[in-house]
A and B are shown apart, each in its own frame.
Chain A
């Protein structure tokens, strides 16, 4: 990975939305936060977005379709990751991600839940290819099995479900969650630390 590649924001799944779609997705995200539920009438979403209800339906035929598009938009726009060149920056990236989830709990839950729906849901590991590329660029002598396991574990940690679980099951504070998730990522990276180059 080159320096110029990291200075540009990554192309993400939500970058191909139209201006109208962007208004709808942002309006829905806003209403989810305000009402504390994703069960928001299309009428309200349309009014907030400044479009007709029919325009919402034309872009997103079903409630599920709209929710999944909104979750992808939230993850890439509101919880966007800083592009870092090194796999060993992942603990820092994860720490920052946990802090941003903690600031927007309703949205974090929406992202976490929609990635748990199987193939009909939102992509559960949108940064998998990036993680693989970082390891390949930096580490030599890693078997496919080991590389796969490290990428899988980091992808799992770098997600909203980590924040949900650490908070819900362990009652952790924002800084405790960030510390614990970063610590776990360090543990996952430990075996390859000596194999840089």
Chain B
């Protein structure tokens, strides 16, 4: 590595590089230690199980290969998601690792990702009159269909590539939002009728 980085980051960067040649399950702790110049023991100290390593590598990949473009509107969120699906297509080995890491039993306290928090905030700002319950289930649906897991299922189970995947995503987003927004509009109309009548 050209830059001076801490040992765990160097291990993750090397594991990500190894994904170009090998599936994740074939990457050994010993080879990672050799690549970084530390003992196998040191690798274990930083990543006690393969689940820890998987989560670490996925985090490294998310931040370096699949950064999330900022969004403050639904349209920008859809644009950001489409761009990510294209990025997943360009680096499938990376994207599958992210999809796997998002599906395992979490090694620490399960905290919502930045993506989830940004999405909830965006929805709340754009649709202030939507109730908490509808907001949460809409956010959950949108988040789940914008995920690497959705890309992975569509690619393997439905032989789709990014443009087709983004189309199914857009359609589902429109349906889910339609449920809450049309209802909210109807409620708003009732409120304003009451106010004026």
User: Would you give the shortest CB distance from B162 to chain A, in whole angstroms?
Assistant: 14
A171 sits at the interface (CB 8 A): yes
Instruction: Write the B81-104 contact mask toward A (1 if CB under 8 angstroms, else 0).
Output: 000000000001000100110111
In the complex the two chains form, is B145's CB within 8 Å of A169's CB? no
State in angstroms the CA–CA spacing of A63 and B150 once bound together.
26
Considering the complex, give the chain B residue whose CB is closest to the CB of A186.
B179
Known A165-B144, A190-B175; judge A180-B152 contact (CB<8 A).
no
Report A-chain residues with C-beta under 8 Å of the C-beta of B178. Answer: 187, 190
Of the candidate stretches A1-9, A46-54, A79-87, A153-161, the one touching chain B is A153-161
**Binary interface encoding of chain B residues 144-168 relative to chain A, with 1 for a CB under 8 A from any of its CBs, else 0:** 1101111011111110100000011
Does A39 interact with chain B (Cβ within 8 Å)?
Answer: yes
By the criterion of a CB under 8 Å from any partner CB, how many residues of chain A are at the interface?
51
Q: Which residues of B contact A171 (CB under 8 A)?
A: 110, 112
Quick one: which of A39, A170, A191 contacts B116, CB cutoff 8 A?
Answer: A170
CB distance from B165 to the nearest CB of A (A): 9
A116 with B176: CB separation less than 8 A: no
Number of interface residues of B (CB under 8 A): 46
Assess the B141–A120 pair: CB atoms within 8 A.
Answer: no
Q: Which residues of A contact B25 (CB under 8 A)?
A: 64
Q: Which listed residue (A123, A153, A160) contacts B171, Cβ 8 A?
A: A153
When the two chains form their complex, are residues B168 and A152 in contact, meaning their CB atoms are under 8 A apart? yes
Most chain B beta-carbon contacts within 10 A, residue among A37, A153, A166, A172: A153
For B105, give the chain A residue with the smallest CB separation.
A109
A153 CB → nearest B CB, Å: 5
Asked whether, in the complex, the Cβ of B172 is within 8 Å of the Cβ of A124, the reply is no
Cβ-defined contact, B153 with A164, below 8 A = no
| CA A161 to CA B104, docked complex, whole Å | 9
Cβ of A41 < 8 Å from any Cβ of B? no
Chain B residues closer than 8 Å to A179, beta-carbon distance = 137
Known A113-B104, A155-B153, A172-B136; contact A184-B141, beta-carbon cutoff 8 A: yes
Shortest Cβ distance from B158 into A: residue: A152
The reply to whether the CB of B73 lies closer than 8 angstroms to some CB of chain A is no
Q: Cβ of A117 < 8 Å from any Cβ of B?
A: yes
Most chain B CB atoms below 10 A, which of A156, A166, A191: A156
